[in-house]
């Protein structure tokens, strides 16, 4: 699975939108882009995933660049509960083995 690059940390104000970037310049055509987050003292939590088109769900939106070499996780209105480490992970379509390769992620802090 290809590698991703994320900023180590980001800050946001409560109730403002947050854009978390991820670079994956070596992505292959069959790699899906997954995002997980890990709140303090908890296991990672699935947020969203996509292949080519932008995706929305109740937690967030995922914007994928046209060349797929980067993506952005968008939290529309940050709350204090969104403070967590966010991981961007590439997962090959044929990866049936449950192996997720986590990088260092982006630690998001949210100020009231």
Partner 1 sequence: KAGVTQTPRYLIKTRGQQVTLSCSPISGHRSVSWYQQTPGQGLQFLFEYFSETQRNKGNFPGRFSGRQFSNSRSEMNVSTLELGDSALYLCASSSGQPTNYGYTFGSGTRLTVV
Query: Distances from the Cα of 79 to the Cαs of 38, 76, 109, in angstroms?
Result: 15, 10, 10
Q: Could you give the CA distance from residue 64 to residue 42 in angstroms, rounded to a whole number?
A: 28
Nearer to partner 1, 53 or 96 (CB): 96
- For residue 8, the cross-strand partners are none
Let me know if 58 is exposed, middle or buried by CB neighbors in 10 A (0-12, 13-18, 19+): exposed
Q: How far is the CB of 64 from partner 1 (least distance, A)?
A: 14
Q: How far is the CB of 80 from partner 1 (least distance, A)?
A: 20
Nearer to partner 1, 51 or 65 (CB): 51
Q: How far is the CB of 13 from partner 1 (least distance, A)?
A: 28
Q: Could you give the CA distance from residue 33 to residue 39 in angstroms, rounded to a whole number?
A: 20
Question: Which parts of this chain interact with partner 1 (CB under 8 A)?
Answer: 32, 34, 36, 41-47, 49, 51, 87, 91, 93-94, 96-105
Nearer to partner 1, 10 or 107 (CB): 107
């Amino acid at each position: 699975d290809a590698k991703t690059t994320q900023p180590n940390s980001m800050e946001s104000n409560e109730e403002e939108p947050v854009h978390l970037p991820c670079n994956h310049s070596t992505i292959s055509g069959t790699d899906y882009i997954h995002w997980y987050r890990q709140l303090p003292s908890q296991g990672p939590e699935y947020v969203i995933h996509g292949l080519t088109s932008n995706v929305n769900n109740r937690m967030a939106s995922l914007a994928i660049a046209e060349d797929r070499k980067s993506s952005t996780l968008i939290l529309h209105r940050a709350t204090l509960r969104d403070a967590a480490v966010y991981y961007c992970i590439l997962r090959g379509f044929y990866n049936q083995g449950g192996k997720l390769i986590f990088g260092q992620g982006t630690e998001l802090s949210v100020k009231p």
